[in-house]
Structure 1
Amino acid sequence: MPRTNAHGQPVGDPVGWSGASPLAPVELRGRFVTLRPLGVDDADAFRAVLGAHDELWTYSPDEPPHTPEDARALLAALPAPPSALPLAVTDPAGRLLGRVHLMRADPAMGTVEVGAIVYSPALQRTRAATEVQLLLADHVFGTLGYRRYEWKCDSLNAPSRRAALRLGFTEEGTFRQAVVYKGRNRDTTWFSVTDGEWPRVAAGLRAWLADDNHDAGGHQRRSLAEVRAALP
């Protein structure tokens, strides 16, 4: 039964929570990747690694950076903390593999979004790509204290929708005609993980990433969905 107030009206559960921390520059290190602030100094690598693949930018409001000037202009215009935190994804040797942003942060309400994801082919469908999301969400919930972690995408972006569900996000619905970008309509599908759900989602991610879930060739023994279903 829902809680009710003195007037007999249903109301939400009380929240013993006083706000999250604003976004600030940070470096997050994992086994397979490091996340660090993305900036203009990354322009050459950014163009070489991500600008050569136009197909990576179909569902981004940005155009692929084909020239050094394009890359510098795109990176110079990035949003900055505390509302957003653009991050470079690098391998252990420091080579750029992709970009990801924490964005639309609202510390007072405890909500923040992960987005602007562009992964190079070398990063896609790897343990490293999954570790990116573990590092980010663990920082959002464990360090910054947010209550809600969002993922939004063009409803026609099937790979993004599959990725959100695989990672443990819950699909919430679609905002029709939410955005116009690149001269076309975007219906936006929303996903989220809440702080109450995060411990189980995190346990699944860690168990999937573990060495005993991968053979000598690096292939998974159990899918992330199978790992998560087996959790208590």
Structure 2
Amino acid sequence: MANDLSSWQPRPTPDQRVLQGRFVRLEALAVARHGDDLWRALQGPDPALWDYLPYGPFSERSHFDAWLTNNTERRDPLFYAVIDQASSRALGVFSYLNIVAQDGCIEIGHVAFGAPMQRTAGATEAIYLLARHAFDDLGYRRLEWKCDAANTRSRRAAERFGFVHEGLFRQHRVNKGKNRDTAWFSIIDGEWPRCRDAFQCWLATENFDQQGQQRQRLQALRESA
């Protein structure tokens, strides 16, 4: 598709349908349904969660609810709550953003996963579900991931998920009174099948032992595909 776009048509925009996985499901963010869970999950023992986001942390519940409400009223970014299938509790939020249907380009961002969700199979599956929906259901050509260049956790996550580092936008933004150089990453449609196969193999039941530990790393599965 990268070279022959003679039949290209603008893609549909995401409609916030429920995306079901084995560990988590994604659904449209709703304050009444998810607010209590998210307040507990996101105000927990990870103060660094908010360091590189342009908002938070929230010292008062009313301010947190106002932030959630604002997010539910927007279509770009388009926010999802991440629901743990085992407990039915919302443990995180993230979004599509910079949605350019005309060119088939879309980004994953505003990632705020509470401590109970971090470094879990559900966290990986949540990213996979959004990526799969963008490429396989909606037919987008490019999926982006951007973060503060100083945010080593986000950079490592992007590379683990299969995003390719494209470069650095120097002095791109001012965030909480500090300079932000922005690191850009992407997966394009020609790379997605290998990434998708690796995600599916990694998430499979047989890739986890009885203690829930991975048998093979996601990167290794992608490299061997």
TM-score, structure 1 as length reference = 0.90
Offset at residue 83 of structure 1 (A):
2.6
Query: In the TM superposition, what whole-angstrom CA distance separates every residue of 1:32-67 from its partner, at most 9, and x where no partner exists?
Result: 001111122232222221023432100101112232
* 1:23 match: 14
1:45 aligns with 2:45: no
Which has more radius of gyration?
Answer: 1
SS at 2:49 equivalent: helix
Give the letter for the 1:45 counterpart.
D
Cα pair 2:159 2:165 within 8 Å, conserved: yes
> C-alpha root-mean-square deviation of aligned residues, in Å?
1.5
Query: In the TM superposition, what whole-angstrom CA distance separates every residue of 1:144-191 from its partner, at most 9, and x where no partner exists?
Result: 111100000000000100111011110000000001111111000000
Distance 1:70 1:82, change over 3 A: closer
* 1:56 match: 49
Aligned equivalent of 1:227, options 217, 221, 225: 221
Offset at residue 30 of structure 1 (A):
0.4
Offset at residue 214 of structure 1 (A):
1.5
Cα pair 2:104 2:141 within 8 Å, conserved: yes
CA distance in 1, matches of 2:11, 2:77: 14
* 2:167 match: 173
TM-score, structure 2 as length reference = 0.93
Paired-residue identity, %: 40
Query: In the TM superposition, what whole-angstrom CA distance separates every residue of 1:74-107 from its partner, at most 9, and x where no partner exists?
Result: 1122165543310101111320111111111000
1:184-199 to 2 correspondence within 5 Å?
A: 184-199=178-193
Aligned equivalent of 1:211, options 202, 205, 210: 205
* Unmatched tracts of structure 1, length 5 or more: 1-11
Cα pair 2:29 2:72 within 8 Å, conserved: no
* Unmatched tracts of structure 2, length 5 or more: none
* 1:14 match: 4
1:77-226 to 2 correspondence within 5 Å?
A: 77-78=70-71, 80=73, 82-92=75-85, 93-226=87-220
Cα pair 1:112 1:146 within 8 Å, conserved: yes
Q: Which has the higher contact order (CA 8 A, sep 6+)?
A: 2
SS at 1:60 equivalent: coil
